[in-house]
């Protein structure tokens, strides 16, 4: 039984393949089309890659499962919008006029069939099933967690009518406990202030999280935020008149009322003032406060102490760290693609359940489920680009030495990881002990803002020496704090508030990357590397060797290593 899971026609479209109940492939469309987040596209390139990897044809696919419930359009959602939004609200006309048409299930099937044919995938469209967006988010976390029982909190801007849904995961079932609907959206709340701070909504939220530690507690701002979002009668409440999504002259996320309360919005690329830093601090603090209250509420009600977080807000590492450190929480799991891409996996696993195939076979140990390129393929592409290169047998030892000497390396190995963070197969690596390395990588390679931190990759055997709470974090999605005595040792991967968004690296799941860090450790006595995604600001993580070469020569990188092949700029 072959199930193709998709997120189609939204942000972060993606495709996954489940063969006989087991995940065999998953990748985001952006990696192939080279457009960040690939908005409003069908994931045709990702589908082709999945079929090529598994040597299947579209006729071998039994079901397509989509992580958005198109069956709710137009009837149910048309009624919902009329009940929830008045005619004067921009969202009423904007969303109804677009979504009620575009998400019609029969139209989606026709558009998907047309896209497959246009992409060279011949054959009839398999049976298509649509699944609730938030339920798909929840499934993408719970069924991969390995937990027998868990509280699952799906936090997203919106999916159909829903914004936040809490489930109880038990065996094969996800039982809905509570839900919030539009316009009470924590995602819209955070996006509104992302845009207010001069950053791009739906992509700049991570920058707000990175900016927040530069700010300080500001009671004046905090009191104003309490008018926008607050906790009352065991629920969060939002005054949507501040943040309702809709087209304005200067904004799609916040309203005139928010400007009257918080002042003029920051212009993109303008100077970041202390007020902006303090506002980011308080917005981040408010989000953490509300989500912690949700988690504590359901731990108390159910007695369940294992938690899964999913949805776009689940990409907030700092919030995840606060949840993980709660005394009420035993274990926390997040899918590294907690954003909408992850619903492709969730929908496929829900389809498994409907077909009486256990979705619980897929405890996620690693994120390396994308395409892979052999040394023969890599060498062919290098030769086609007429580049000088050399083959190095012990590539981990060579790379470890170069990193120790202060070189910045692009590291391209094995199957591509999924999610927003590079995890050692499509990574830019540097020596974290060099204090100026953070600014160098930010300024000459990533071309991004000074306040954005870098992550440490730590050999799992040494995590207790470096981490304050010491826990495995293979997906770089939960923040912790550095042990004080180690802070000065790895200055380029410690944020201004002493937090770190670490990745623990296991010999069992990525031996080559673990070996590289180990070679660096032999020389430096530090089992840690600076690891950031192999891309530049505004572009997706590289997928192919050709992507890697292009990115390498467009940045200040010193060395490109693909498989066992080494390209150095000073060799021409």
DSSP per residue over 220-247, as a string?
A: HHHHHHHHHEEEETTEEEE-TTTT----
CB atoms within 10 A of CB 173: 10
CA–CA dist 342, 486 (Å, integer): 35
176, with CB counted inside 10 A (0-12, 13-18, 19+), is middle
300, with CB counted inside 10 A (0-12, 13-18, 19+), is exposed
CB burial string 421-459: b at 16+ within 10 A, e below: bbbbbbbbbbbbbeeebbebbbeebbebeebbbbbbbbb
| DSSP-assigned letter for residue 41 | B
- Residue 252 in this model has a pLDDT that exceeds 80: no
- The pLDDT tens digits of the residues spanning 475-498 come to 999 999 999 999 999 999 999 999
Higher pLDDT, 182 or 23: 23
Residue 86 banded pLDDT, cuts 50, 70, 90? low
Q: How far is CA 113 from each of CA 16, 53, 242, 349, 541, rounded to the nearest angstrom? A: 17, 21, 41, 22, 28
Mean pLDDT of the chain: 94
- The pLDDT tens digits of the residues spanning 98-114 come to 778 889 999 999 999 99
**What is the structure's pLDDT at 245?**
54
Residue 87 banded pLDDT, cuts 50, 70, 90? low
Q: Where are the domains of the chain?
A: 2-134+343-361, 145-335, 375-571
- Residue 563 in this model has a pLDDT that exceeds 60: yes
- Residue 88 in this model has a pLDDT that exceeds 80: no
CATH of domain 375-571: 3.90.870.20
CA–CA dist 194, 254 (Å, integer): 10
Domain 145-335 has CATH 3.30.470.20: no
**What is the structure's pLDDT at 248?**
44
Residue 250 banded pLDDT, cuts 50, 70, 90? very low
CB atoms within 10 A of CB 397: 17
CA–CA dist 545, 362 (Å, integer): 29
2-134+343-361 matches 145-335 in fold: yes
The secondary element (H helix, E strand) that includes residue 153 is strand 149-159
45, with CB counted inside 10 A (0-12, 13-18, 19+), is buried
- The pLDDT tens digits of the residues spanning 344-367 come to 999 999 999 999 999 998 999 999
Distance of CA 13 to the CA centre of its chain: 12
Copy the structure tokens of residue 75. Answer: 């009837």
Residues in contact with 309: Cβ distance below 8 Å, sequence separation at least 6, in sequence order: 141, 152, 153, 155, 291, 320, 323, 332, 333, 334, 338
**What is the structure's pLDDT at 100?**
81
Calculate what percentage of the chain has a pLDDT beyond 70: 96
Copy the structure tokens of residue 434. Answer: 């060099």
Answer for the pair 29, 11: CB distance below 8 angstroms, yes or no.
Answer: no
- Residue 529 in this model has a pLDDT that exceeds 80: yes
Torsion of CA 165, 168, 170, 174, to 10 degrees: -20
Torsion of CA 549, 551, 557, 560, to 10 degrees: -30
pLDDT (mean) for 225-235 = 98
CA–CA dist 345, 137 (Å, integer): 9
Q: How far is CA 111 from each of CA 67, 115, 341, rounded to the nearest angstrom? A: 16, 6, 19
pLDDT (mean) for 502-519 = 97
**What is the structure's pLDDT at 572?**
42
**What is the structure's pLDDT at 219?**
98
Residue 9 banded pLDDT, cuts 50, 70, 90? confident
CB burial string 182-192: b at 16+ within 10 A, e below: bbbbbbbbbbb
Copy the structure tokens of residue 366. Answer: 């690693």
CA–CA dist 170, 506 (Å, integer): 29
**What is the structure's pLDDT at 410?**
98
CA–CA dist 476, 482 (Å, integer): 15
Residue 89 banded pLDDT, cuts 50, 70, 90? low
Termini Cα distance of the chain: 50
Cα dihedral across residues 487, 492, 493, 497: positive or negative: positive
The secondary element (H helix, E strand) that includes residue 187 is helix 186-196
Calculate what percentage of the chain has a pLDDT beyond 90: 86
Copy the structure tokens of residue 249. Answer: 């002259």
346, 378, 317, 476: which is closest to 26 by C-alpha? 346
**What is the structure's pLDDT at 97?**
63
DSSP β-bridge partners for residue 220: none
Residue 35 banded pLDDT, cuts 50, 70, 90? very high
290, 192, 288, 338: which is closest to 499 by C-alpha? 288
Q: How many helices (H) and strands (E) in the chain?
A: 19, 22
DSSP β-bridge partners for residue 307: 151, 332
Match domain 2-134+343-361 to its CATH number in 3.30.420.40, 3.30.365.10, 3.40.50.300, 3.90.1150.10: 3.30.420.40
């Amino acid at each position: 039984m072959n199930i193709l899971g998709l997120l189609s026609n939204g942000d972060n479209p993606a495709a996954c393949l489940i063969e006989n109940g087991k995940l065999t492939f998953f990748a985001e469309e952006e990696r192939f089309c080279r457009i960040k987040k690939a908005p409003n596209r069908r994931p045709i390139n990702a589908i082709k890659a999945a079929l090529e990897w598994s040597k299947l044809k579209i006729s071998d696919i039994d079901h397509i499962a989509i992580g958005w419930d198109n069956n709710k359009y137009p009837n149910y959602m048309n009624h919902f919008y009329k009940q929830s939004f008045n005619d004067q609200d921009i969202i009423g006309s904007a969303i109804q006029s677009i979504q009620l048409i575009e998400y019609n299930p029969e139209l989606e099937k026709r558009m998907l069939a047309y896209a497959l044919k246009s992409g060279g995938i011949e054959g009839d469209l398999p049976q298509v099933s649509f699944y609730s967006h938030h339920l798909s988010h929840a499934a993408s976390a719970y069924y991969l967690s390995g937990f027998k029982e868990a509280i699952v909190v799906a936090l997203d801007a919106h999916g159909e009518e829903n914004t936040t849904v809490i489930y109880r995961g038990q065996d094969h079932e996800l039982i809905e406990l509570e839900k919030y609907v539009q316009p009470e959206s924590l995602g819209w709340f955070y996006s509104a202030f992302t845009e207010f701070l001069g950053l791009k909504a739906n992509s700049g939220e991570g920058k707000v999280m990175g900016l927040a530690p530069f700010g300080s507690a500001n009671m004046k701002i905090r009191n104003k935020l309490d008018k926008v979002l607050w906790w009352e009668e065991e629920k969060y409440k939002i005054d949507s008149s501040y943040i309702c999504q809709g087209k304005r002259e200067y904004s799609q996320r916040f309203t005139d009322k928010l400007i009257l309360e918080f002042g003029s919005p920051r212009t993109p690329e303008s100077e970041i003032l202390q007020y902006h830093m303090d506002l980011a601090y308080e917005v981040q603090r408010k989000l953490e406060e509300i989500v912690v209250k949700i988690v504590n509420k359901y731990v108390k009600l159910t007695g369940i102490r294992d938690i899964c977080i999913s949805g776009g807000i689940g990409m907030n590492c700092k919030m995840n760290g606060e949840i993980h450190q709660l005394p009420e929480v035993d274990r926390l799991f997040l899918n590294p693609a907690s954003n909408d891409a992850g619903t492709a996996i969730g929908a496929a696993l829900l389809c498994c359940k409907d077909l009486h195939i256990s979705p619980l076979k897929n405890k996620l140990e690693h994120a390396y489920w994308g395409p892979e390129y052999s040394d023969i393929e890599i060498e062919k592409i290098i030769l086609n680009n007429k580049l000088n290169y050399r083959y190095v047998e012990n590539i981990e030892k060579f790379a470890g030495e170069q990193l120790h000497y202060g070189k910045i390396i692009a590291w391209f190995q094995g199957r591509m990881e999924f999610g927003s963070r590079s995890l050692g197969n499509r990574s830019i690596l540097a020596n974290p002990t060099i204090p100026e390395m953070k600014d160098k990588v930010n300024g000459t390679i990533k071309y991004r803002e000074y306040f954005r931190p870098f992550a440490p990759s730590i050999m799992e055997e040494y995590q207790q020496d470096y981490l304050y709470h010491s826990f495995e974090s293979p997906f770089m999605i939960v923040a912790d704090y550095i042990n004080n005595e180690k802070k000065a040792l790895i200055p380029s991967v410690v944020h201004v508030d002493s937090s770190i968004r670490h990745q623990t690296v296991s010999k069992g799941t990525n031996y080559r990357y673990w070996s590289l860090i180990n070679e660096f450790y032999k020389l430096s006595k530090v089992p840690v590397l600076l690891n950031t995604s192999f891309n530049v600001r505004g572009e997706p993580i590289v997928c192919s060797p050709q992507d890697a070469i292009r990115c390498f020569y467009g940045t200040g990188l010193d060395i490109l290593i693909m498989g066992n092949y080494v390209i150095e700029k000073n060799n021409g």
